[in-house]
Amino acid sequence: MRRKKFSTQLTTTLIVFLIFVFVIGFGFLLGYRFIVQQTEKFEAYDAALLMISNDQAGTSDEETSPEKVLSGTDYQLHVIDPDSPNAIMIYVELGDKPSDIAKQLEEKGVIANPTLFVLLSKINGFDDSYLSGTHFVSKDMSYDEIMYTLSRNPVTVSITFTEGMTYNDVKETLTDHGVQYNADRLDVLVDHPELFSEYDCVKNIPLTEDRQYALQGYLFPDTYFYDLNTDEKTILRRFLQNTDDRLLDEHYERAEAIGMTLDEVITLASIIQMESAIPLDMYKVSRVFHNRLEYGDKLQSCATVNYLRRQQGKEPIFIVSEEDMEMDSPYNTYLYEGLPPGPICSPGLEAIHAALYPDIDSPNLYYFVSKGDGENYFSSSYEEHERAVEEYLVPLQENNDDETLDETINEEDEEGEDFNEE
């Protein structure tokens, strides 16, 4: 009897064990299959995003497309980029918890159940994977796709700032590329270089009442990658770090050797940058200005006048008028001696180098005039300069006057036609 009972217990235990093994094995297989499916799904998702990226860069394979990549899978994937018509911007701040992200997703109508999102985030192992920055999702995406998207590198935009850009040009370029920033806050930070004292280049900027935009000239022209929701301090720090890296000890030493501060060098370089785009010309322009500074004469730079015109909402002009030259501003180098209170734009390294090392082959240059083809004609005497004005500037002025007259006549004709039609 006991033997029979023991045999029954053994059989029961064995059955329970087999059931347990089956359940564990079945669960393992389900889990393994889920992991494989998720891996395949997200690999296809990555491939589709890569196709979009290559397509935007103009390097895509004509025989391959995101649609073809997706159609080769067993999943319905939703690939979203900033240009997608149903794209919704999500900004994950540093330190955001899954619950914070879920709340934002709910507020923007992406998900309906934030509690479920938080639970699935933990189950799927995404809790510590979300990366701060800007991401784009849509209401059509599954919770898995949203989580995976938020764990990828955030969306950045490549922005090129060219030599000669003013601070206002920089702001306009940031806006044109979709960067979400507070312009008023950026204005305040630009006028407080002491907030960026970790950068050597801005430590000795003179903060005078006449100076406009204290950090103008120090926003180094280059290509930068910005998150679309980059904060204002990060925007400026990215510029200033680059400027600090570009300005070497030899630049500071050379400035001291020629009796100039770094700020004076950057200010002069900004004028040189706007007066010529030809490297060889830059050094001659620099020689003219250095000579004028040495003798205490006015720089008489058209670039500074055009800087003031742009501030008044006017277009820069090739030949400045008497009225322009009489604008009462310390930035008007036709009216005031010496350098203006600060840089008028962001100079490149060539212009900075020219400011530090003016031309030595023609040490007596004192005048220059535009030839109208991008180059300048340089003179050492006033008589030679007058002849250059007659040869180059007067014809340019006459052409300019003729074009202005033609535009006026055309406008009057159009007004007359409109009147007759009425």
Q: Please report, for residues 33, 172, 296, 302, 304, the alpha-carbon distance to residue 299 in angstroms, rounded to integers and kept in the order given.
A: 76, 29, 9, 9, 10
Cα separation, 286 vs 268, in Å, equals: 8
Q: Are residues 224 and 128 in the same domain?
A: no
C-beta of residue 202 within 8 angstroms of C-beta of residue 215: yes
Do 134 and 226 lie in a common domain? no
Q: Give burial (CB, 10 Å; 0-12/13-18/19+) of 403.
A: exposed
173: alpha, beta or left? (left if phi > 0; alpha if psi -120 to 50): alpha
Asked whether residue 417 falls in the same domain as residue 270, the answer is yes
Domain boundary among 154, 178, 203: 154
User: Which two tokens mark 247?
Assistant: 């300005």
Tokens of 34: 């889920």
State the Cα–Cα distance between residues 324 and 333, nearest whole angstrom. Answer: 11
What span, in angstroms and rounded, lies between the C-alpha atoms of 129 and 132? 10
Residues 190 and 135 in one domain: no
181-196 burial, b for 16+ CB within 10 Å, e for fewer?
beeeebeebbeebeeb
Query: Which pLDDT tens digits describe the chain residue by residue (422 residues)?
Result: 555 555 666 666 666 666 665 656 554 544 445 444 555 555 555 555 555 445 544 555 555 444 444 444 445 566 677 878 889 999 999 889 999 999 999 999 999 999 999 999 998 888 888 999 999 999 988 898 899 989 988 989 999 999 999 999 999 999 999 999 999 999 999 999 999 999 999 999 999 999 999 999 999 999 999 999 999 999 999 999 999 999 999 999 999 999 999 999 999 999 999 999 899 999 999 999 999 999 999 999 999 999 999 999 998 887 788 898 999 999 999 999 999 999 999 999 999 999 999 999 999 999 999 888 888 999 999 999 999 988 888 777 666 654 443 443 343 334 333 323 32
Considering the domain architecture, whether residues 400 and 283 belong to the same structural domain is answered as yes
Structural domain total, the chain? 3
Q: For 124-248, where are the alpha helices, taking DSSP H only?
A: 143-150, 167-176, 183-190, 232-246
Residue 236 sits in which domain range? 156-246
Domain end residue (candidates: 211, 246, 281): 246
In the numeric block, the tokens 């009425």 are attached to 422
Q: Do 272 and 417 fall within a single domain? A: yes
Report the 10 Å Cβ neighbour count for 106: 15
Evaluate whether residue 107 is within a structural domain: yes
- Residues 330 and 293 placed together within one structural domain of the fold: yes
For 371, the 3-state DSSP assignment is coil
Q: Are residues 335 and 347 in the same domain?
A: yes
User: What's 112's domain CATH number?
Assistant: 3.30.1490.480
Quote the CA–CA distance of 263 and 246 in Å, as a whole number.
15
Domain closes at, from 246, 268, 290: 246
Stretch (H or E) spanning 160: strand 156-160
Tell me, yes or no, whether 420 and 290 share the same domain.
yes
